[in-house]
């Protein structure tokens, strides 16, 4: 993709951090952005920063990426606001935590895993039809260096986050072949940020 100008991007976790920075960079490049997050105030701030760029359409959507029905609602709202196709999908939302499998809280473990893994899976599932309708599309899935190394050191259990980030990496790598065979106009990248 040579230019982002006039394209439509979906960014999960766009309220803060890397997601906010992505939204700002995309808007600066002339890309329309649909972003979701779980905190409305954060999204409003991101939207204001992005709308400083003339001619871009920015929409915000309250959504917990770990809940499939939320993601389906997000996709429906994006289609209503931006049309029936998108060009870019950034599955960026993530949370830390979840800690140990043996001595940690199961609910916290499963929530961390769900946001970090199912957020990517649901994002790809619900937005694939919109990506298919684009002439050229790209998926960017955020993993982590903990998708290479499942450790924060010898004294810190880190199973939920690491397991989810390994899943994102493996899924993204396998998706390269799947897309090449079944939707060659869509490509995929995996991002492995670290500390």
Q: Rounded distance, CA 195 to CA 43, Å?
A: 24
Neighbouring residues of 11: CB distance < 8 A, sequence distance ≥ 6: 19, 22, 23, 26, 33, 34, 35, 36, 90, 92
Say whether 161 is catalytic: yes
Set 118, 121, 122, 161: catalytic member: 161
Q: Using an 8 Å Cβ cutoff, are 173 and 158 in contact?
A: no
Other C-beta atoms closer than 10 Å to the C-beta of 35 total: 31
Instruction: Estimate to the nearest angstrom the gap between the alpha carbon of 4 and the chain centroid.
Output: 17
Q: Cα–Cα distances in Å, from 20 out to 47, 100, 147, 180?
A: 9, 29, 22, 30
The set of catalytic residues is 161
């Amino acid at each position: 993709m040579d230019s982002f100008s006039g394209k439509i991007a979906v960014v999960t976790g766009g309220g803060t951090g890397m997601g906010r920075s992505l939204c700002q960079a995309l808007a600066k490049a002339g890309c329309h952005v649909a972003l979701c997050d779980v905190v409305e105030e954060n999204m409003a701030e991101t939207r204001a920063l992005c709308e400083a760029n003339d001619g871009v359409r920015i929409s915000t959507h309250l959504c917990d990426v770990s809940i499939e029905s939320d993601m389906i609602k997000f996709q429906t709202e994006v289609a209503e606001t931006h049309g029936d196709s998108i060009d870019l999908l950034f599955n960026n939302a993530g949370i830390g935590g979840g800690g140990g499998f043996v001595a940690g809280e199961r609910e916290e473990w499963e929530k961390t895993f769900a946001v970090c893994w199912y957020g990517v899976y649901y994002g790809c599932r619900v937005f694939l039809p919109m990506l298919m309708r684009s002439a050229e599309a790209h998926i960017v899935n955020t993993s982590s260096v903990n998708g290479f190394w499942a450790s924060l050191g010898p004294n810190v259990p880190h199973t939920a986050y690491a397991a989810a980030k390994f899943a994102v990496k493996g899924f993204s790598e396998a998706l390269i072949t799947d897309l090449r065979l079944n939707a060659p106009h869509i490509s995929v990248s995996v991002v492995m940020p670290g500390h």
